[in-house]
Amino acid sequence: MELVDHLRDERNKAQFDVEAMKVVWAGSPQELQLCDRMANLVANHPAFEKLKRPMLVRKELFKNSLRKAAYARKLVIDLGLSEEEAKWLRFYIDEPTYPDLHWGMFIPAIEGQGSEEQKEKWLPLSRNMQIIGCYAQTEMGHGSNVQGLETTATFDAQQDHFIIHSPTLTSTKWWPGGLGKVSTHAVVYARLIVNGEFHGVHGWYNYYSFSFFLYLEDHSPLPGITVGDVGLKFGNGAYNTMDNGLLRFHHVRIPRNQMLMRVSQVSREGKYMQCDDVPRQLIYGTMVSVRQTIVAMVSRTLSRAVCIATRYSALRRQHSSSSLVVPCFLMIDYQSQQSRLFPLLASAYAFKFVGEWLKWLYTDVKQRLEANDFSTLPEAHASTAGLKSLTTSATVDGIEECMKLCGGDGYLVSSGLPELFAVSVPACTYEGDNTVLMLQVARFVVKTVSEVGYKEPLGTSSYIRRLNTLLHNNCLVQTGEDWVKGDRIVEAFEARAARMAVTCTQHLAKFQDPEQGFSELSADLVEVAVAHCQLIVVSKFVEKLAQDIPGKGVKEALEVLCYVYALFLVHKHQGDFLVTGYLTPKQASLANRQLRILYSRLRPNAIALVDAFNHTDHYLSSVVGRYDGNVYPNLYQAAFNDPFNDSHVPDGYHQYIHPILNQTLAKL
């Protein structure tokens, strides 16, 4: 049967080479080929069916996710997939499960914090999955406040052991993924006590990581350990495929050599030693790594929601303003729909490019760390924390907006959007609450501003070198066209960020106690951090455009996206630009007018731009976002695929409806 492409006319409007854009989106021809291969491997394997997921109760859902993870492991072995291929395989299976934490946090924690000897011992076991690990840092009473962790690790010199103990209810390890039911091992963060002395009351060597056996062979917990799942989470399927766990220790003994020993050691004699040349922040290194990974991946999550909403918007017709009866307007042709949808489409591309840059920065930092060069760690911390926060918040808000952009049908599970929202929303909390992370960025920015004159700002903060110019030279825009120039846009974002940072730094200086000042001004500081991070995203997009980008019309289409992203932010945050005095109201209104022009230039390319994400229908799992656009018959069919429609008479009908109809309620 011939397949009808209901979006063909839209596809024909494209003004650029979609295949070339696919390469740009993927990062390289090799990446495109790799992703395509893994996406199709998953899409064509019946084991990875996922449409029934939201209908399953927790125990069935969990078993189903274990089955998929086992099939995935089998594929990795049978096909000899590399770690990189296996990562993409997991990504396209699209179901959070214990391997994410095993590969994403447990192994990186050992790699980053273990001694050479420990790595040699534990990494092969982990990579072969002969042990399965998780990352147990958060406690019931302490999530953001890592310094407040209460779990203790007391050294017993006589037996050459650490005794791990949870002294209070609030010290219960709480939330670690993979911990509740599956893991055999954990990297546990605990407060170190040697010779009766708490180390690090003054800060920097408080917490150490331990790897130790959690379970016996038969998978029952070791004596002294209580373990379980934290309970059902938001959204039906969503993150409930993960066994986020709780864990308590009652004086559990582990050998001394299970303390991860790269950053510091405890000797056989009970002598505590820290490595002089390794900063203690390295124990936070796993979080830096995962925050970078989240930024690298988050654009795909947003692109998925945007793809669904764009395709549905380009199919569904509503009435025109002149006739409330005759449906003629495509939803995508409403200016108001465009002003909500197109900035999200532009954001997906912006986040992709900033994710690529962050990966480069992180790789560079990692190489430096291996050579004991820690000079770029503060910038890596601020950039990974800030961009994780900025991009996940915008993505989660964006998914919710896409749901609304699809009207009532967006609210149906079959649209794929509710589950995507539910699975993504904890990204604003895990790996660091987004506000807490922005406050870390603000600390970095304020520190950089305060040090002007005796320390050269580098990397993402190098704009602070030109503080004088940025504080005193106002925007030169005179026409709308002036707004579509890369250097002008970047300068506007630099001036806004610099002016806000300087104002906040001056306000902070008025406080006798800097910490009190930091606390009282924290809402303003978050805005400083947002301005700094938006500058990074905009400038990395502009830098991307300066590269050689092959393919007919590809660069031009990306330019439109870049300016949409930037001018949308200028419009959204015009208060910042006006209050800091950088823009006049006229210039702000020119930016908004130019934005509307850019929307009309983006419009013909909209479907091609989401096609360039190269998402399979399996990955999208959305009736309204299907590639062929054949929405209505499938939407209708999806309703009847719901087991609730198996019968006209639901359970309970005879029992609870008949008595109402028959007026026999009194018998109930």
Ligand X SMILES: Cc1cc2nc3c(=O)[nH]c(=O)nc-3n(C[C@H](O)[C@H](O)[C@H](O)COP(=O)(O)OP(=O)(O)OC[C@H]3O[C@@H](n4cnc5c(N)ncnc54)[C@H](O)[C@@H]3O)c2cc1C
Ligand Y SMILES: CCCCCCCC/C=C\CCCCCCCCCCCC(=O)SCCNC(=O)CCNC(=O)[C@H](O)C(C)(C)COP(=O)(O)OP(=O)(O)OC[C@H]1O[C@@H](n2cnc3c(N)ncnc32)[C@H](O)[C@@H]1OP(=O)(O)O
The residues annotated as belonging to the active site are 431
Given a contact cutoff of 8 angstroms between Cβ atoms, the answer to whether 119 and 261 are in contact is: no
Which partner from the list ligand X, ligand Y, none does 355 bind, CB cut-off 5 to 8 Å by kind?
none
The label of the residue with tokens 């010290």 reads 171
The one-letter amino acid at 607: I
Handedness of CA 526, 377, 82, 240 (dihedral sign): negative
Binding mask 419-438 for ligand Y (x = CB under 6 A): -----x--x--xxx---x--
CB 350 to ligand Y: min, Å: 15
392 binds ligand Y, rule: CB under 6 A = yes
Residues ≥6 apart with Cβ < 8 Å to 666: none
Q: Max CA-CA distance within the chain?
A: 88
58-117 binders of ligand X (CB under 6 A): 101
Burial of residue 40 (CB within 10 Å: 0-12, 13-18, 19+) is middle
Kindly indicate which of the ranges 14-22, 374-382, 449-457, 657-665 contains the residues binding ligand Y, using the contact rule CB under 6 A: 374-382
Angle (CA) 503-506-511 rounded to 5° is: 135
The nearer residue to ligand Y, 287 or 489, going by C-beta atoms, is: 287
The nearer residue to ligand X, 234 or 360, going by C-beta atoms, is: 234
Which of 48, 92, 122, 135 lies at the binding interface for ligand Y (CB under 6 A)?
135
Give the separation between CA 338 and CA 317, rounded to whole angstroms: 14
The nearer residue to ligand X, 266 or 425, going by C-beta atoms, is: 425
Q: Which helix (H) or strand (E) holds 535?
A: helix 522-545
Which of 65, 138, 313, 461 lies at the binding interface for ligand Y (CB under 6 A)?
138
146 binds ligand Y, rule: CB under 6 A = yes
The one-letter amino acid at 275: C
Which of 64, 126, 138, 614 lies at the binding interface for ligand X (CB under 6 A)?
138
432 binds ligand X, rule: CB under 6 A = yes
CB 590 to ligand X: min, Å: 36
Q: DSSP secondary-structure letter at 83?
A: H
Which of 71, 205, 215, 430 lies at the binding interface for ligand X (CB under 6 A)?
430
The nearer residue to ligand X, 386 or 432, going by C-beta atoms, is: 432
Question: Three-class SS of residue 153?
Answer: strand
143 binds ligand X, rule: CB under 6 A = yes
CB 279 to ligand Y: min, Å: 8
Which partner from the list ligand X, ligand Y, none does 239 bind, CB cut-off 5 to 8 Å by kind?
ligand X
288 binds ligand Y, rule: CB under 6 A = yes
Cα separation values, 601 from 18, 478, 553, 595, Å:
16, 21, 12, 10
The nearer residue to ligand X, 140 or 609, going by C-beta atoms, is: 140
Handedness of CA 626, 605, 551, 402 (dihedral sign): negative
* Other beta carbons less than 10 A from residue 547's beta carbon: 9
The nearer residue to ligand X, 115 or 393, going by C-beta atoms, is: 393
The nearer residue to ligand X, 137 or 347, going by C-beta atoms, is: 137
Which partner from the list ligand Y, ligand X, none does 287 bind, CB cut-off 5 to 8 Å by kind?
ligand Y
Question: Three-class SS of residue 481?
Answer: helix
Q: What are phi and psi of 254, to 5 degrees?
A: -135, 150
90-109 binders of ligand Y (CB under 6 A): 91, 100, 104-105
Give the separation between CA 242 and CA 66, rounded to whole angstroms: 10
167-186 binders of ligand Y (CB under 6 A): 177
By rule CB under 6 A, what count of residues binds ligand X? 21
Given a contact cutoff of 8 angstroms between Cβ atoms, the answer to whether 417 and 622 are in contact is: yes
Residue 198 is encoded by which pair of tokens? 């708490």
320 binds ligand X, rule: CB under 6 A = no
Residue 426 is encoded by which pair of tokens? 């904890």
Give me the DSSP letters along 639-666.
HHHSGGGS-SS-TTIIIIIHHHHTT-GG
176 binds ligand X, rule: CB under 6 A = yes
The nearer residue to ligand X, 265 or 429, going by C-beta atoms, is: 429
Give the separation between CA 2 and CA 146, rounded to whole angstroms: 59
Give me the DSSP letters along 205-265.
T-EEEEEEE-B-TTSPBPTTEEEEE----STTTGGGGS--EEEEESSEEEEGGGB--SSEE
- Ramachandran bin of 409, using left for φ above 0, alpha for ψ from -120 to 50, beta for the remaining angles: alpha
292 binds ligand Y, rule: CB under 6 A = no
Which partner from the list ligand Y, ligand X, none does 91 bind, CB cut-off 5 to 8 Å by kind?
ligand Y
The nearer residue to ligand Y, 149 or 569, going by C-beta atoms, is: 149
CB 429 to ligand X: min, Å: 5
Residue 510 is encoded by which pair of tokens? 């008025």
- Ramachandran bin of 474, using left for φ above 0, alpha for ψ from -120 to 50, beta for the remaining angles: beta
CB 488 to ligand Y: min, Å: 31
Which partner from the list ligand X, ligand Y, none does 485 bind, CB cut-off 5 to 8 Å by kind?
none
Which of 284, 342, 349, 421 lies at the binding interface for ligand Y (CB under 6 A)?
284
The one-letter amino acid at 419: E
Which of 97, 113, 126, 137 lies at the binding interface for ligand Y (CB under 6 A)?
137
CB 253 to ligand X: min, Å: 23
Cα separation values, 135 from 305, 424, 447, Å:
30, 20, 31
294 binds ligand Y, rule: CB under 6 A = yes
* Other beta carbons less than 10 A from residue 235's beta carbon: 19
The label of the residue with tokens 């038969």 reads 218
CB 107 to ligand Y: min, Å: 10
Give the separation between CA 166 and CA 224, rounded to whole angstroms: 10
503 annotated as ligand-binding: no
Kindly indicate which of the ranges 56-64, 144-152, 341-349, 598-606 contains the residues binding ligand Y, using the contact rule CB under 6 A: 144-152
The nearer residue to ligand X, 239 or 284, going by C-beta atoms, is: 239
144 binds ligand X, rule: CB under 6 A = yes
CB 239 to ligand Y: min, Å: 9
CB 392 to ligand Y: min, Å: 5
Burial of residue 614 (CB within 10 Å: 0-12, 13-18, 19+) is buried
148 annotated as ligand-binding: no
Residue 252 is encoded by which pair of tokens? 């559990």
CB 283 to ligand X: min, Å: 13
396 binds ligand Y, rule: CB under 6 A = yes
613 binds ligand Y, rule: CB under 6 A = no
Known binding-site residues equal 138, 177
Known binding-site residues for FAD equal 138, 177
Binding region for ligand Y (CB under 6 A): 91, 100, 104-105, 135, 137-138, 144, 146-147, 177, 281, 284, 287-288, 290, 293-294, 297-298, 301, 377-378, 381, 392, 395-396, 424, 427, 430-432, 436, 440, 443, 447
Binding region for ligand X (CB under 6 A): 101, 135-138, 143-144, 175-177, 239, 244, 426, 429-430, 432-433, 435-436, 439, 522
